Amino acid sequence: MYEGVVQDLIDELGRLPGVGPKSAQRIAFHLLAADPVDVRRLVHVLTEVKDKVRFCKTCGNVAEQEECRICRDPRRDRSVICVVEESKDVVAIEKTREFRGRYHVLGGAISPIEGIGPDDLRVRELMTRLADDEVTELILATDPNLEGEATATYLARLVKPMGLRVTRLASGLPVGGDLEYADEVTLGRAFEGRRLIDV
Amino acid sequence: MRVAHLSLRDFRSYTEVELPLDAGVTALIGPNGQGKTNLVEAVGYLATLGSHRVAQDAPLVRLGAERAVVRGQVVRDDRSLLLEVEITPGKANRARVNRSPVPRAREMLGILRSVLFAPEDLALVKGDPAERRRFLDDLLVLRTPRYAGVRADYDRVLKQRNALLRSGAGVRRSRQDSVDLRTLEVWDSHLSTAGAELLAGRIDLVEGLRPLVDKAYQAVAEASFASAGPAAIDYRSSLGEDVPLVADRDMLAAAMLNQISELRKAELERGITLVGPHRDELVLKLGPLPAKGYASHGESWSFALALKLAAYDLLRAETDAGGEPVLVLDDVFAELDGHRRERLATLVAGAEQVLVTAAVPEDVPEALTGARVDVMGGEVRRIR
């Protein structure tokens, strides 16, 4: 245990995701030794990020204005919406440059253990968008784990009566890998592979 | 197959130990608490990535050490493979095969196969249904490693679904109820998919074991008691009486969904999942009577041994899996009467590799004379 404010700093840093007690200590001592100007700049950015950044009123992505850059972009295809769990998933998909539609960020996945149900996600907002918009296809790009799959199934069932085309990202073999090195679950998934959600 | 060399670091009581092993019988002899069982537990860990004594990994790591390392040189089909697993409590195990890391420790499963007999086996007959389910599932994974994933998926869905049911248990008939039910249907479908896969695996397995169990029972039990009737196993599923127990996943999934909707009200009231492989039972019968509650102590032991021997026979029959599994007999002979002791010893004496632990040399039956290693205070010493 360190005295007073140093320990406070270590405790606060330790609360960040992916930062354990040892890393928190290392970062704290790095900050103590750092140039005050650098630290002030960090403080400034931290305050600014909380003040300025908001969530897009349409899709829930991080934005600096009422709507995010993607929702404002008139060149984006308004007929397709890709549903993801987090903003960082938007960034990942954007990097592919394959997708020209718009997004909807749920803010997580259904997980009763953590007390997260559909009401805690931006599901109602999605339904409103689907009712108003000229959307014809919904791509479910939630994580390929149990909670992500459950969320995808839930949404697929929910929008089924609306008569949209509902698709789920394929899961299977990584590109550039060797078939023989794939584990059985992934390989099995790849076999089942091609999927058009059918509920 | 056999383990040619076992080395441990910071595993249980051992700081460091090297144990070369031969084919045939090796008896590990030493007073209680000296670390015999720790050695065979480590062999079991390489085969199953779990301990037969504890559910958590923390007790496996030597007090004060951060992680334990178990390393085994395995010879199968005249090929030598080095298996290594690093156990860090609270973290995922790290495994290496022939010095190359595998992405998930799970992928090491199936390389070394072992069947372990231990005093705890009596619980297979006298204990809760959970003991028998675990016996089936462990064997399923040993036989088809893919089931490790199926089992983990099922457990995870079950936890999620139970959490949801519990959250709804208090707020019945409120407006929130209908919302909860819609999410519940999603978990119903995931539970039935994973459940049907696990169930189909178990059904297949029980079919394979069925003829072997009675054969093994007759071989172990005393001749005069064998007439109490054939030893039989039956799988009883929570899907209802009229569902045929055949390994047809689609049919089982549909039956499971059906039963879930039948029991919807009860599940909501009690806040737990009442349908699925986690509620099933492997019924053991001696003649017309259930073994549990009716069998004598000796008969119960015979049945427990018969189940393990049947598992061994089943694995041994799969010739494409690298040969006979390694047999481990941990302190069992002290528990058995003279007759069963001799019968068991004779039955396993011909196996490719047998590891026996006992407190005193007299506890090891004559049929199992072989190499002897003394274990004392965390040191091993080859005697012959």
CA B37/CA B12 separation, integer angstroms: 10
Spell out which residues of chain B touch residue A153, defining contact as CB-CB under 8 Å. Answer: 186, 189-190
B238 pLDDT tier (thresholds 50, 70, 90): very high
| Cβ neighbourhood burial of B239 (10 Å; 0-12, 13-18, 19+) | buried
Mean local confidence (pLDDT), B358-373: 90
The reply to whether B378 falls in a domain is no
Long-range contacts of B242-248 (CB under 8 A, 24+ apart): B245/B203, B246/B203, B247/B200, B247/B201, B247/B203, B247/B204, B247/B207, B248/B200
The reply to whether B235 falls in a domain is yes
Structural domain that includes position B287: 127-296
Range A60-168 classified under CATH 3.40.1280.10: no
The reply to whether B31 falls in a domain is no
Q: Does B91 touch chain A (CB under 8 A)?
A: no
Query: What confidence score (pLDDT) does residue A72 get?
Result: 92
- Search chain A and give the residue with CA nearest B152: A146
Q: Do B146 and A185 touch (CB under 8 A)?
A: yes
DSSP letter (8 states) at residue B325 = P
Residue range B119-173, pLDDT digits in tens: 999 999 999 999 999 999 999 999 888 898 899 999 999 999 999 988 765 554 4
Q: What are phi and psi of A178, to 5 degrees?
A: -105, 140
Q: Do B189 and A111 touch (CB under 8 A)?
A: no
- Search chain A and give the residue with CA nearest B194: A146
Domain tally for chain B? 1
Mean local confidence (pLDDT), B79-89: 93
CA B159/CA B141 separation, integer angstroms: 21
Whether B369 and B25 have beta carbons less than 8 Å apart is answered as yes
Residue range B283-293, pLDDT digits in tens: 999 988 888 88
- Residue with the two structure tokens 């069963």: B340
The residues with which B19 forms a beta bridge, in sequence order, are B6
- Residue with the two structure tokens 């249907």: B185
CA B295/CA B312 separation, integer angstroms: 23
> In the CATH hierarchy, which top-level class contains the domain A4-52?
mainly alpha
The reply to whether B315 falls in a domain is no
| Cβ neighbourhood burial of A1 (10 Å; 0-12, 13-18, 19+) | exposed
Mean local confidence (pLDDT), B327-342: 89
CATH number of B180's domain: 1.20.1050.90
Better-predicted residue by pLDDT, B168 or B256: B256
Q: Does B265 touch chain A (CB under 8 A)?
A: no
Q: What is the full per-residue pLDDT of chain A (199 aa) written as tens digits?
A: 788 889 999 999 999 988 888 899 999 999 999 999 999 999 999 998 888 888 999 999 998 888 999 999 999 999 999 999 999 999 999 999 989 999 999 999 999 988 898 989 999 999 999 987 689 999 999 998 999 999 999 999 999 888 889 999 887 777 777 777 777 777 777 776 655 656 6
Residue range B24-76, pLDDT digits in tens: 999 999 998 889 999 999 999 999 998 888 888 999 999 999 999 999 999 98
Query: What confidence score (pLDDT) does residue B175 get?
Result: 44
Strands B326-330 and B353-358: parallel
The reply to whether B351 falls in a domain is no
Question: What is the residue extent of each domain of chain A?
Answer: 4-52, 60-168, 171-199
Query: What confidence score (pLDDT) does residue B178 get?
Result: 47
Q: Which of B124-138, B230-244, B312-326 has the lowest mean pLDDT?
A: B312-326
Torsion of CA B326, B330, B335, B338, to 10 degrees: 50
| pTM of the predicted model as reported, rounded to 2 decimal places | 0.83
Query: What confidence score (pLDDT) does residue B228 get?
Result: 66
Query: What confidence score (pLDDT) does residue B227 get?
Result: 57
- Search chain A and give the residue with CA nearest B155: A146
A83: Cβ–Cβ under 8 A, 6 or more apart, which residues? A103, A104, A106, A126, A138, A139, A140, A141, A142, A155
Query: What confidence score (pLDDT) does residue A179 get?
Result: 75
DSSP-assigned letters across all residues of B201-268: HHHHHHHHHHHHHHHHHHHHS-HHHHTT--EEEEEE-TT-TTS-----HHHHHHHHHHHHHHTHHHHH
The reply to whether B162 falls in a domain is yes
The reply to whether B51 falls in a domain is no
Report the complex ipTM. Answer: 0.73
CB-nearest partner of B186 from A153, A183, A184: A153
Query: What confidence score (pLDDT) does residue B176 get?
Result: 47
Query: What confidence score (pLDDT) does residue A199 get?
Result: 66
Q: Does B183 touch chain A (CB under 8 A)?
A: yes
